Amino acid sequence: MNAPAERRRSLHGEWTSRLGFILALAGSAVGLGNIWRFPYLAGENGGGAFVLVYLVCVFAIGLPIMMSEVLIGRRGRRNPVRTMALLGEEESGTRAWGLVGLLGVFTGFLILSFYSVIGGWTVAYIVEAASGAFVSAGSEQVSQVFSDIVSRPLVAGTWHTVFMILTIGVVVLGVEQGLERAVRVLVPALVALLLVLLGYSMTTGRFLDGLVFLFEPRFEDLTGASVLAALGQAFFSLSVGMGAVMTYGAYLKDEESIPRSTVAVVLSDTSIALLSALVIFPIAFAHGLDPAAGPGLAFQSLPLAFGQMPGGVVVATLFFLLLSFAAWTSAISILEPAVAFVMETWNWTRPKAAIVVGAIIWAFGFATVMSFGPWSDIQFWRGTFFDNIDHLSNNIFLPIGGLVIVIFAGWVMARNSTADELDPQAGWGYRLWRFSARYVAPIAVTAMLLSYGFGLF
């Protein structure tokens, strides 16, 4: 039972090859979430037990949801709102499923508003690194560089603006021209540099402590809030739950294998997150930095390593350049669903949609800029404005979006429709997916949301 013929092709272009799709999806998944967010969350939540819950969430929940998003996207071949409405009508007679697409577009709006601010920090760090600001620097000097950037709205705001312009620029160029070409080189280069840094962190003398911190589960450190944080991080890092993966799936050719591509992406994303943590913690320990330092962790520990190593200026500059690229390829995928939605809904051109949507998100991003500066004392609910947006989008909205998507794929779509996209022979891999999509993922996400998400409101 194939999708109707008029939906065989995407409205916005297609990936030229399977590798192109894998790289684009990896470009979306690998970003600040791996190198900036994962290590500091692991640090704040006590390490090992958090990492274990995270890994279970990634493979038992995130992977089946990612497959669901790609298959839904490819079958609908529209923006997430219209795809969900179309398939909803086809499979169950109601277009109301489009609402989850709308939630996704809104979540993307919130996420990009802070993602671009942190992306701006990484761009600022390219300049700092190249100018030698970290050479032989101690932890105080490095912390000073950090706070000079993030706590001054004019500085952070300028870099946020630069980052947003870059993101809008690629989305204006479109899928084939802009994206696929960039990620081909950048993701492999980032991994290579992380390996160089791993070599350095092994020489700090605290590598073993880093390993223990990261992998020895101390379950007494695990709280409801940290379980929910691990779930939210799994969604955030894999880019699932808001329609970004669905949008990329819409540009995937019919003949490419969804299971193989998604497994490759999930494995790379997870390895890069663990690798970053293994680089960051030994350095932090060796220099007496607090692993629970929060959002500043990566920005304050890595420069210490760069400052000590031979050729550190070059390595540091390259590293922040690559990190900015990784953030950039992710940001593009956060903007794309909203842009595709606006283009299809109001018949806008791609440049107009990208510029208008991007500008609104950019303006909203200044609330995050301020929350690391003059507004850092304004605390409510979860903390600063940034903390609230971050919690709401990653720990609540992404899991809700993912839950509805996986229920749709597992329960609402006919078995034939999903098998047709994933594996027409319906082998063991397909049956495993369907079992997780019907039972494991929905039950686990619901349980975590109810007990830790809503229970904590």
For ligand PFF, give the closer residue by CB, 33 or 43: 33
Q: Which is nearer to ligand PFF, 104 or 453 (CB)?
A: 104
Instruction: Examine residue 333 and tell whether it contacts ligand PFF (CB under 6 A).
Output: yes
Print the binding letters for residues 81-110 with ligand PFF: x by CB under 6 A, - otherwise.
---------------------------x--
Sign of CA dihedral 385, 386, 388, 389: positive
- Phi/psi of residue 380, each to 5°? -150, 160
CB atoms within 10 A of CB 398: 29
Task: By CB under 6 A, tell whether 34 contacts ligand PFF.
Answer: yes
332 forms part of the interface with ligand PFF (CB under 6 A): no
User: Can you tell me which of 20, 27, 33, 358 binds ligand PFF, judged by CB under 6 A?
Assistant: 33
**CB-nearer residue toward ligand PFF: 3 or 361:** 361
Q: Dig out the tokens for 250 from the structure.
A: 């819409």
Closer Cβ to ligand PFF, 107 or 436, answer by number: 107
Phi (first) and psi of residue 383, to 5 degrees: 135, -135
Task: Return the HEC string of 346-373.
Answer: HCCCHHHHHHHHHHHHHHHHHHHHHHCC
Distances in whole angstroms, Cα of residue 372 to Cα of each of 110, 140, 375, 420: 16, 18, 7, 48
Binding mask 212-241 for ligand PFF (x = CB under 6 A): ------------------------xx-x--
Smaller CB distance to ligand PFF: residue 32 or 419? 32
Residue 28 interacts with ligand PFF (CB under 6 A)?
A: yes
* Of 133, 191, 456, 162, nearest in space to 307 by CA: 133
Q: Does 247 bind ligand PFF (CB under 6 A)?
A: no
Q: Given the complex with ligand PFF, which of 419 and 441 has the nearer CB atom?
A: 441
Single out the residue of 344, 211, 336 nearest to residue 282, CA to CA: 211
Q: According to the binding rule CB under 6 A, does residue 242 interact with ligand PFF?
A: yes
Residue 276 or 301 with smaller CB distance to ligand PFF: 276
The piece of 30-38, 92-100, 118-126, 217-225 that touches ligand PFF (CB under 6 A) is 30-38
User: Tokens for 381?
Assistant: 């609910």
State the Cα–Cα distance between residues 367 and 360, nearest whole angstrom. Answer: 12
If the CB atoms of residues 331 and 343 are measured against ligand PFF, the closer one turns out to be 331
Are 358 and 377 spatial neighbours (Cβ–Cβ below 8 Å)? no
How many residues in the shown chain lie near ligand PFF by CB under 6 A? Answer: 16
Q: Is 29 in the site for ligand PFF (CB under 6 A)?
A: yes
**Cα-based angle 252, 62, 212 (whole degrees, multiple of 5):** 130
Answer yes or no whether residue 246 interacts with ligand PFF by CB under 6 A.
no
Site string for ligand PFF, 4-23 (x = CB under 6 A): --------------------
User: Any contact of residue 79 with ligand PFF (CB under 6 A)?
Assistant: no
Q: Decide whether 362 or 397 has the Cβ nearer to ligand PFF.
A: 397
Calpha distance 27→181 (Å, rounded): 11
Q: Which are the contacts of 134, defined by CB distance < 8 A and separation ≥ 6?
A: 128, 142, 145, 303, 304, 306, 307, 312, 313, 316
Q: How far is the CB of 84 from ligand PFF (least distance, A)?
A: 15
CA distances from 9 to 13, 15, 152, 178, 253 (A): 8, 11, 47, 19, 8
117 binds ligand PFF (CB under 6 A): no
Q: Which is nearer to ligand PFF, 113 or 237 (CB)?
A: 237
Ordered alpha helix ranges (H), 131-152: 139-150
Q: What is the smallest separation between the CB atom of 219 and ligand PFF, expressed in angstroms?
A: 26
8 Å CB contact between 394 and 193: no
The answer to the question of residue 156 lying near ligand PFF (CB under 6 A) is no
- State in angstroms the smallest separation of the CB of 453 from ligand PFF: 18
Which of 24, 27, 418, 62 minimizes the C-alpha distance to 263? 62
Structure-block tokens of residue 300? 């304050």
Three-state secondary-structure class, residue 380: strand
Decide if residue 300 touches ligand PFF (CB under 6 A).
no
Cβ 32 to ligand PFF shortest distance, Å: 4
- Which of residues 103 and 313 has its CB atom nearest to ligand PFF in the complex? 103
* 334 is an interface residue for ligand PFF by CB under 6 A: yes
Q: Does 31 bind ligand PFF (CB under 6 A)?
A: yes
HSE on the CB side for 52, CA within 13 Å? Answer: 12
- Residues in Cβ contact with 314 at an 8 Å cutoff, skipping those fewer than 6 apart: none
Residues within the interface to ligand PFF (CB under 6 A) = 28-29, 31-34, 108, 111, 236-237, 239, 242, 244, 330, 333-334
